[in-house]
Amino acid sequence: MSKLSILLILWSLTSCVKGVSRPCVLKDYGQEHQVCVCNATYCDIIYRVQTINRGEFVSFISSKNGLRFNKSDGKLSNQSGFNLPLANPSTTVSFTVNPARKYQKIMGFGGAFTDAAGINIKSLSKLAQENLMRSYFSEHGIEYNLCRVPISGTDFSTHPYSYDDGAPDPQLSRFALAQEDLEYKIPLIQWAKSTSEKEIHLIAASWSPPPWMKTNNDYSGFAFLKEEYFDLYAKYLLRFLDEYKKWDVKIWAMSTGNEPSNGVLPIKRFNSLGWTPLSVTNWTVNYFGPQLRSSVHKDTILLAFDDQRLFLPWWIDLMVRADRKILQYIDGFAVHWYWDFLVGVGVINELHDKYPEKFTLYTEASIGDKPWEKKVDIGSWERGEMYIADIIQNLNAWVTGWLDWSLALDTTGGPSW
């Protein structure tokens, strides 16, 4: 756990502690599964570090034996190490800081405003909702500042839907936001914005266009975008940006589409659209990219890929070979964590070395998606370690931020259609 300790210490040195923190009230689920209670009457609070005197440090420790953001103060020295309140009291940690050597700027961390998140948060009492939102977005919590916004339905919706369902509609005359946007996503985004002292950067991604635009006329399964709708699909996505702007919700980044590999699998899993590196490059360079850059949303940046790192860097290489103009339209790469255990983090380093002017952002992670995994394992320390190990490895490979998946799920891991 020394790597985690070092990471927390380094963050504290660059953060800004005012006030008195409110400690975690642990609830034990057995087998070393513990959680902090957050309900209508109580929720733990952690205050930001404000100032630290020269030669001093502040550390925050969470541990398997029950510590949660446990704050410690100390003085830096030139000794071989210093003691931290870890599981083994004799453990010492040494680290070297070279302020002259700089790496990437960390953009932040966050989660996703899925329909499931909205449904579950809205199911809580009003006071519990307020405590939860403060825990996520306020200076008294973990201050999430990067959040994903699904464009229409996902696997964490109660049903599949788009913004223009039905028969082919080449004029998009039926286009309209869904009830889920108006009841869940937009209100929660606005609430998060009003709760946070920081700007929240929103990253939008589409899982599937309307079925009539696809080769299989369905939300999921093996399918690609019909070529006659390349232009219209670009306009469809711009309409999404238009409609959200009417609610004072600015989208900071768009992806070229969620997990295009799912659309080339001959199975029905969830909303998906298949792309190849060549087809998505054609669509981006000749349709979506130019339309986005010439629109009122021209400041919205574009992220390519949005899929598993086992396809890197060759997926991006094929895009560039297909048309180097793609580099004029994409600002960075979005990556998902689900199959990281199959391919080492070296591919992320290789991606950075090949395209150093582009940033890499992890935009989705969750556990329980695989058939052999338990859907929900409340208070699992092991799962927490899996998250932090992946975060540390990727931050050490030039990744600029890391997003969890749904902000809130029920005890069955849903709802999900």
Pairing of strands 253-255, 301-308: parallel
Per-residue pLDDT tens over the stretch 226-258: 999 999 999 999 999 999 999 999 999 999 999
Per-residue pLDDT tens over the stretch 105-141: 999 999 999 999 999 999 999 999 999 999 999 999 9
Q: Which residues make Cβ contacts (< 8 Å) with residue 105, sequence separation at least 6?
A: 400
Rounded mean pLDDT of 255-265? 96
Pairing of strands 82-83, 92-93: antiparallel
Rounded mean pLDDT of 140-151? 97
**104/399 Cα distance (integer angstroms):** 8
> Which residue pairs, CB below 8 angstroms and at least 24 apart, start in 30-38?
32/64, 32/65, 32/381, 33/377, 33/378, 33/379, 33/380, 33/381, 34/66, 34/379, 34/381, 35/378, 35/379, 36/68, 38/128, 38/131, 38/132, 38/135
Does 144 share its domain with 284? yes
* Residue after which a domain boundary falls, among 37, 62, 93: 93
Confidence of residue 87 (pLDDT cuts 50, 70, 90): low
Query: DSSP letter string over 359-389?
Result: EEEEEE--SS-STTS-S--TT-HHHHHHHHH
Residue 10: what pLDDT? 36
Rounded mean pLDDT of 87-109? 81
Does 74 share its domain with 112? no
Residue reference for tokens 């899925």? 114
* Residue after which a domain boundary falls, among 42, 66, 93: 93
Range of the domain at 41: 2-93
Q: Determine if the peptide bond prior to 209 is cis (ω within 30°).
A: no
* Residue after which a domain boundary falls, among 93, 126, 153: 93
Does 114 share its domain with 82? no
Per-residue pLDDT tens over the stretch 326-371: 999 999 999 999 999 999 999 999 999 999 999 999 999 999 988 8
Does 102 map to a domain? no
The widest CA-to-CA distance across the chain, in whole angstroms, is 72
Rounded mean pLDDT of 281-291? 99
Per-residue pLDDT tens over the stretch 12-48: 333 444 445 789 999 999 988 999 999 999 999 988 8
Percent of the chain with pLDDT over 70: 91
CATH number of the domain to which 177 belongs: 3.20.20.80
Confidence of residue 389 (pLDDT cuts 50, 70, 90): very high
Rounded mean pLDDT of 268-292? 97
Using the CB atoms, write b or e for 79-112: b if 16+ within 10 Å.
eeebebebeeeeeebeeeeeeeeeeeeebbbbbb
Residue 8: what pLDDT? 37
Residue 5: what pLDDT? 34
Does 332 map to a domain? yes
**175/100 Cα distance (integer angstroms):** 52
Catalytic residues: 259, 364
Structural domain total, the chain: 2
Does 82 share its domain with 217? no
